[in-house]
Amino acid sequence: MLLFRLVIDITLEEIHMDRKRKFTLVTAVVGIAIISILLLLAGPREIAHAINAANHKMILIALFFQLSISLLYPLRWKYLLSSMGKGTRFSNIYMVSSLGFLVNALTPGAQAGGEPARAYVLSKVEKLSPSKCFASIVAERVYDVISYLLVIILGLVMLLHAYSFGWLGTIMIVIAILFIIMLTILALYISVNKNKALKLLRFIFRFLRNIKPLMNKIDEWASKLEDTVEEYSHSFKKILLDKTWKGLFYSFLIRALEILRLYFVMLALGINLSIEHAIMLFVVVVLSTLVPSPPAGMGVVESAYMLVLKMMGVPLQIAAAMMVIDRMLNTLVPALIGVASSYYLGFKRFDLLNRKVSTHSL
């Protein structure tokens, strides 16, 4: 009877995982279809001509901003982790951060799968407790949400001033702002409240159980959940007390560079718009990532680019060219770095395992 129950449980788990894979595949196909339609509407030849005629020096400057952003995220993470009293290697944090971006890009919905993944990988690479890693990542997200919130409010005020959205559009914008504020308050409340933090970690553990190599480890962590929550809550409070202002500085600097990247892509394509228009475009694109969507927001984010730029009077082929260039910079470039990092981290873990085996055999 026990064996029969075990077989049923394993079969149900496999069906659940298979459904997830199918869902990811279907949403990815839908996203690619939407992008294809947008590109066909704009005209592939016209888009290629616009990209070839672009100012490549400006694109290189935009690429520089993106690479700077890719450095600032792990720099901020290293700074937050320093409150734990243990030094961490920047090279490891950079690669784990890049790996997290890659996992986020491959995760449907709100692209949040990379956060648990990088907490786990960093805990192994740097010999930190998973709860401390989770605490630093939640603190990161709080700083990001605060910086996003202020930029979004600024951008939406600009949008409402420059364009008429009607009462329905205005209500939707206000709801979006309130939703982000609610998320910020909720994250802070959960992280400083031990009982709520316990529920949060149980939710994260349920997510991690879907990753087969982690299943045994998750059960081990779950058996020590009370201690884990105590350590998580203490670490989170320590980060907030010691690192808030500099953590926020890093976050606002990243937002500024993201907007500048967009602005320089505009300049590269000869789009005669101001930095305020770049802020408005940035805000709508960020809000589009909150919509349940295929991996990397395929289809949804591209539609947001095209819609806003068209509304700003940009020709369709130029809007499509800007979308292609900026998506390559902010998604493809970090994803390629993430692929390289995942290979390196995989080989590194394998080498360490081999060394341990060799040592024991001697």
For residue 163, being part of any structural domain is answered with: yes
Note the pLDDT of residue 150: 86
For residue 355, being part of any structural domain is answered with: no
46-70 tens-digit pLDDT: 999 999 999 999 999 999 999 999 9
For residue 275, being part of any structural domain is answered with: yes
Note the pLDDT of residue 38: 84
pTM to 2 decimal places: 0.77
Note the pLDDT of residue 209: 60
Model confidence at 358, in pLDDT bands (50, 70, 90)? very low
> Stretch 301-330: mean pLDDT, rounded?
90
For residue 92, being part of any structural domain is answered with: yes
More confident residue, 266 or 242: 266
Range of the domain at 206: 2-350
pLDDT at 354 over 70: no
C-alpha dist (Å) from residue 284 to 148, 181, 248:
11, 17, 22
Q: How many domains does the chain have?
A: 1
pLDDT at 272 over 60: yes
Note the pLDDT of residue 3: 34
For residue 356, being part of any structural domain is answered with: no
For residue 292, being part of any structural domain is answered with: yes
C-alpha dist (Å) from residue 354 to 96, 339, 345, 346:
21, 23, 14, 12
- Residue environment code for 92-116, b if the CB has 16+ CB neighbours within 10 A, otherwise e: bbbbbbbbbbbbbbbbbbebebbbb
